[in-house]
Amino acid sequence: MSEALPDFKLIRPTSLDEALNALTAQPNTRLCAGGTDLIVNMRRGLETPDVLVDLGAISDLKTITMDDKGLRIGAGVTLRDLAGHAGIAGAFSAITQAANAIAGPNHREVATLGGNLCLDTRCQYYNQSHWWRKSNDFCLKYRGDICHVAPNGNRCRAAFSGDLAPALIVFGAKVEIAGPDGVRSCDLADLYREDGADHLTLTKDEIVIAVQIPPTDAASAYDKIRVRGAVDFPLAGVAVACRTDASGARHFALAVTGTNSMPLRVDMPDPLGKDDDPDSYFKALEKLVQKAVSPQRTSTIAPHYRRLSASALSARLARALI
């Protein structure tokens, strides 16, 4: 790789207001949290900001609060701190498992929740050096006019690869977003759209500041398919939450990452009743996931394999929660 970082002006605000002002003061300004993905992309010439706003010095974004109103995690909380939080591990195990599954331990020291939620989408035709992409006439996501993954389509198919989003979506998480007009809140699932070249619904002047989750008694789990046991992005990642109601019926929530350009919430079959046959239930669940996900040739691993793995993993995780 070995490409030098392009020239940019670095700003390190210590408050959110300063950061919001810096974000709109000049065009072509980018936010940077841990930088474990952005700096790599900048070195590959995929991002060329004139101004980089480093959010690492804003301590207000680094708090976790957990009380009877639920859980609130600041966007600047590092994945290491998130994975090491005993309260979250006890009540929201999918979040801990997802945080621990991201990249390698040395990335997790600085990589943040906000960074993982706003992670750029990934594709084997995009995450390459400049000369590689140039010799391939670039692609729809960056400077080119064709998607090499789906040449007949009209949108970029790059895969969203953040591990935390599905683990938060299954708990009905909301995301707090600060902008010039104040703070707004929306469902985390609505932060995304199915377009690999423009997958975030954030506007240019907004910053994700926190995630909120209502209290829950659901059991949950996250796991991902990848080639190596560390460092790799997910070929498919699945989060499942299971809540048992007063009648003993089990309500599942399930979300998948790595297979589409956005984290995908999969509609589940009716709850699994106390007297229902779990085998046929999980078979149906597996079929639903298989139908819902849409892995493309964004990695060197065959899409069909990723589809089958995602659905098999879904059924395995869900079954383990009953």
Q: 60 vs 198, which CB is nearer to another protein? A: 60
Q: 17 vs 109, which CB is nearer to another protein? A: 109
Q: 110 vs 197, which CB is nearer to another protein? A: 110
Q: Which long-range contacts (CB under 8 A, 24 or more apart) does 46-51 make?
A: 46/120, 46/126, 46/127, 46/142, 48/6, 48/8, 49/8, 50/8, 50/9, 50/26, 51/8, 51/9, 51/10, 51/11, 51/22, 51/25, 51/26
Q: 27 vs 229, which CB is nearer to another protein? A: 229
As measured in angstroms, the least distance from the Cβ of 268 to another protein is 33
As measured in angstroms, the least distance from the Cβ of 285 to another protein is 31
Q: 13 vs 172, which CB is nearer to another protein? A: 13
143-168 residues labelled b (16+ CB within 10 A) or e (exposed): ebeebbbeeeeeebbbbbbbbbbbbb
As measured in angstroms, the least distance from the Cβ of 225 to another protein is 17
Q: 36 vs 298, which CB is nearer to another protein? A: 36
Site for another protein, rule CB under 8 A: 1-2, 4-10, 12, 35-36, 39-40, 43-44, 52, 54, 56, 103-107, 109-110, 229-231
As measured in angstroms, the least distance from the Cβ of 116 to another protein is 14
* Tokens, residue 247: 């009648």
Contact 209, 183 (CB under 8 A): yes
Contact 164, 170 (CB under 8 A): no
* Tokens, residue 314: 């879904």
As measured in angstroms, the least distance from the Cβ of 23 to another protein is 16
Q: Which amino acid is at 21?
A: N
| DSSP at 55 | G
Report CA-CA distances (Å) from 64 to 13, 219, 238, 270: 21, 21, 24, 34
Contact 73, 113 (CB under 8 A): yes
As measured in angstroms, the least distance from the Cβ of 9 to another protein is 6
Q: 3 vs 270, which CB is nearer to another protein? A: 3
As measured in angstroms, the least distance from the Cβ of 163 to another protein is 15
Residue 188: name the closest of 125, 253, 135 by CA.
Answer: 253
